[in-house]
Amino acid sequence: MDHTMSQYEQAAPRTGRDGARRPRVVIAVDLPEPLCARIEREEPRVEVVRDHSLYRPRRGPADWSGDPDHRRTPAQQQAYREMVDSADVLFSLPDVDPSELARTVRANPSLRWVQAMAAGGGAQLRAAELDRDELDRVAVTTTAGVHGSPLAEFAVFGVLAGAKTLPRLQRQQRAHEWGERWEMTQIDEMSVLIVGLGGIGAACAEKFSALGARVLGTTRSGRPVPHVDQLVPIEDLARAAADVDAIVVTLPGTAATDGLIGDEVLGAVRPGTSLVNVGRGTAVDEDALVTALEAGRIGFAALDVTAVEPLPAQSSLWDHPNVLISPHTAALSSREEERIVRLFVDNLDRHLGGRELRNVVDTVEFY
């Protein structure tokens, strides 16, 4: 292979009908071909480059990282890197790997924008450890909002499981015990505090409000959010937590949110409060959570995320009777790929028109 000009630089013409150079969009992960073609069809001003023979095979829908046991040959790895290094715009971090993002940013001065596959793409960007000039040159956007509906459904499921005493029902069923009747909690009698009112939090607010719950939500801006009955300043989080029946955490993983749901908040809640986390696991202090569970202040916890993933085998959360563990799977949907492409095409139009992109990562807080 002629290394002075790769096959991707020699391939299709990079100019439009008016002779202007067409920006090159490189698909860096195994996006199904019909969706690659959709980007091409809906935005003819760009050149869409992909090579499905070079991607890590997917194990299911939206499996952007691909099979971790797959290994490219040296020639394939070189071809893959040449492809991603030819991009003006990247659809996904290369191999969803922050170190590969850093490598391609430094190898490719033409790169201007990377669409991350995660709603929490800020953590990936932080892990890439780019310098300030690199951060200023390359915008990184997230898929915030794409996962709102499925995660909001899991949040409703988690709160319902606590309200309807799922652990007690399962325990008595396993014991073949009918027992006495008891009163369950009704969602339309509950107050639910949503910690984080971004895309996921707003979707949660809509669903809980539709079920008749009184919805509270934390805010830094103070701006009203639809379906939220009461906004709570973040500094008043512990006080608000003391007056609700359930807490739903949708926070991203940042320095400001690390351990935010800790001793102060969990020590303030009233007995039997339910906790659901569909944000980032680091937002909940797991030692404080175990203490609150043992004291009965948290009556039930549904966790789709944990501070360390996979959750270590020695974690006491695995065996606690009032904890439900989901292996970060609540957002997985066969429609995720289509939703991300829809967001990407909209942002591509904004990018080409010189307008502000949606979901740009803040390069100070990485959120």
Q: What is the pLDDT of residues 79-111, one digit of tens each?
A: 999 999 999 999 999 999 999 999 999 999 999
Whole-model pTM?
0.85
| 124-134 tens-digit pLDDT | 999 999 999 99
Backbone φ/ψ region at 354: left (φ over 0), alpha (ψ -120 to 50), beta: left
| 146-184 tens-digit pLDDT | 999 999 999 999 999 999 999 999 999 999 999 999 999
| Residue 13 pLDDT > 50 | no
Q: Which residues are catalytic?
A: 280, 309, 328
| 293-352 tens-digit pLDDT | 999 999 999 999 999 999 999 999 999 999 999 999 999 888 999 999 999 999 999 999
Per-residue model confidence (pLDDT) at position 366: 85
Quick count: other Cβ atoms within 10 Å of Cβ 96?
Answer: 20
Backbone φ/ψ region at 296: left (φ over 0), alpha (ψ -120 to 50), beta: left
| Range 186-195 average pLDDT | 98
| Residue 17 pLDDT > 80 | no
What homologous superfamily is domain 148-325 in, according to CATH?
Answer: NAD(P)-binding Rossmann-like Domain (3.40.50.720)
What is the chain's alpha carbon radius of gyration, rounded to the nearest angstrom? 23
CATH 3.40.50.720, the chain: domain bounds: 7-145+334-352, 148-325
| The CATH number fitting domain 7-145+334-352, selected from 3.40.50.720, 3.30.230.10, 3.30.1490.20, 3.40.630.30 | 3.40.50.720
| Residue 5 pLDDT > 70 | no
Bridge partners, residue 115, by sequence: 91, 141
d(CA 56, CA 89): 20
d(CA 292, CA 40): 52
